Structure 1
C-alpha cells in the first residue's frame, strides 16, 4: 500500500467519522445541515462568511443523508485544497441549501457548492474514487440528481433530492427521545 493511498484513505475515514460523531451525539437520528457542513469544512478553513460561507434554513438530515452528504462535502473540500478555491488565498467557497421545487418534485432539497475567484479549473482527466463519490454515489444512494460542473472560474456541485428522502422525520426525533 502506497503512502499516498494510506493518507487519502485515512482522510476519508476521518471525514466519515466526523459525520458519524454528529449522529451519535445524544442518540440523534440525524444532524443539522449546518452542522454537517461545519464539521466537514472546518478542518480546511474557518467558516467565516468571507472565504467560506454556509447558508440555509435550519434543516435536519436523516442518518443516510448525513453520512453521504458529509462524504461528498469532504471530497469537495479536499479537491478545493488541491486544485481549487482553497489552494490560493483569494478564492471563496459558498455552500447553500434550501427546499424548493425541482426536477424531482415540488419539495426538493437543494445543496450547492460554489467556488469563485480561484485558479482556472479544468475537468479531471481520469475518474478516481472522489469523482465516483461526487458524480455518482451521492446521487444514486440518496435517489437524487447531481451536477458537477468545472467552470474556468470554479467548481459548482449541486445535489437535488426529494426532501422526504433526506430530511429527518418528526417520528425519528420522537423515537430518539424515548427512554
Structure 2
C-alpha cells in the first residue's frame, strides 16, 4: 500500500462550481481509498496480533507479567504500611533511601457547604458542566428561554463512513 500525497488547496474559493464539484468527487474517492487501506491494514494487524497472542511464548510472558504486577501491588502496599509504621515509631521520615514519608496536607470539608460558600465568595472555583447546561437550555428554550443563550444554525459537513462505492472511479455521484 502506498499513499499518494495531494498538494492542492482544499478550499474552493476562486474556483468555478464545476471545479469545486470535481474536487469533491476526487476527494470522496481518495478518502474512500484511504479509509479502505486503513481498514485493510487494521485487519492485517488484528490477525497478526491474534496469532501472536495465541502463541505459547506470548501466553507465558503474559501470565508472568500479570503475576508480577499482582505481587508487586501486594509488596508495595506492605512496604507503604511498614514505612508509615517505622515513621510512627521513630519519627524518622526515611525508613530507607527508597522508602520515605512525606507529610502532605489534606483538606476535609462538606462539599455542599463548600459549593454554597464558593457561590457567594469565590466564583472562580465553580465549573460549568457544559453538557448538562446545554441540555437544560435546549429543553427550556420554548418554555422559559434563557435570555443570554442564542440558538444559531450553521452548516456542518457530514461525510459517509462507507465510501467503498466511490473508490477508483466506480461512481460519479
The two structures have a TM-score, normalised by structure 2, of: 0.20
Higher RCO, Cα 8 Å, sep 6+:
2
- Choose between structure 1 and 2: higher helix proportion: 2
- What TM-score comes out, normalization by structure 1 length? 0.20
Larger strand fraction of residues = 1
Tell which structure's C-alpha radius of gyration is larger: 2
